[in-house]
Structure 1
């Protein structure tokens, strides 16, 4: 049995089976990336709910694994050289899982780098910009009621990013063509989330991006997505 005692997080969120991947997360656009990937890969894992309502992500135990205090994070008891490894940042975790299994990313060098550029496009663009749009449009609407600039700025940038994705997906089933990859897993929860979590479908004019909408439906319909979008289960 793997010894995870060197990870303080396991003292608060104990592992029932320390021999499998431990996932610390919440079903947010960032959080579900990893649960969806784990479901797609068929890797055994144990989810632990990190509740924002009680600021679990800021607790000393969680910060011991992710000093940035953000979900998701994992511990893999069977990491490189057979030693446990803890990881945070959803993009880094997706790359790790793809390389660990040899799946969800092309094996040739050119395909690998092309996939990574789209993962980073999501991490640096779609995630932060959609998040800022959602913040000002929904959660801080009362604070900017007399100032339309924040919503307009992030609305316009979010639409620009959707247009980039639209151009990429025209004539393609997935971001990398015929093969589903971590680029899709990184991206589609945020496109879904800007609608489901923030109610931004109309303002962002989703209907203007038909290739994106069709791709989103395909991604959501995958059985692994259907499972992963609800893991860990909320209280």
Structure 2
């Protein structure tokens, strides 16, 4: 019978150990997996061939085409982009700072002009003050010199040598003759209006040289003319 024959053949094979059995099982599993993977790959290739090149081109066009309802690309390129609000704020602040800086510069320039004018006035005042102080010092020195001269005249004045008739005239009535000049004239022998009224040009030069402290005063104040008028007024006659 066939079954008995197969059993006899099986009994004729050498015995199989555990490792060999595991190797056979693993080999069988690998063959099955490879077969299934090959079938799946074959199905995919068949579907791609059926779709054809037109389907791939359509897919590419669909990827590059704009979405429905989107504005044209050319129109979107020409639309100006609005400036960010931060840039506007920075520009406004910059303009404000520039205006404020210019105003401050103008104010400082005006103050500089005023300060320069004040400095000029102070310099002029200081110069005038120095001049006045120098003039005051000269006046004080002149006063001291005249005071010493008066004291010397009062101490050392000699008696009158060329006195006119009667009491001496008040020579101080002549404009330009003060107490000191009167004493100096008395020292020189001049005590009356008549004497001065009779002075010639040579006499005027001589007395002007003697009165060296008052050069040119005799002619400048017109002593001769005044003495004539005073003599006529006092004595009723011409000198």
TM-score computed with the length of structure 1 as normaliser: 0.19
Which is strand-richer, 1 or 2?
1
User: Larger Rg: 1 or 2?
Assistant: 2
Q: Comparing both chains, which one has the higher relative contact order based on Cα–Cα distances under 8 Å and sequence gaps of 6 or more?
A: 1
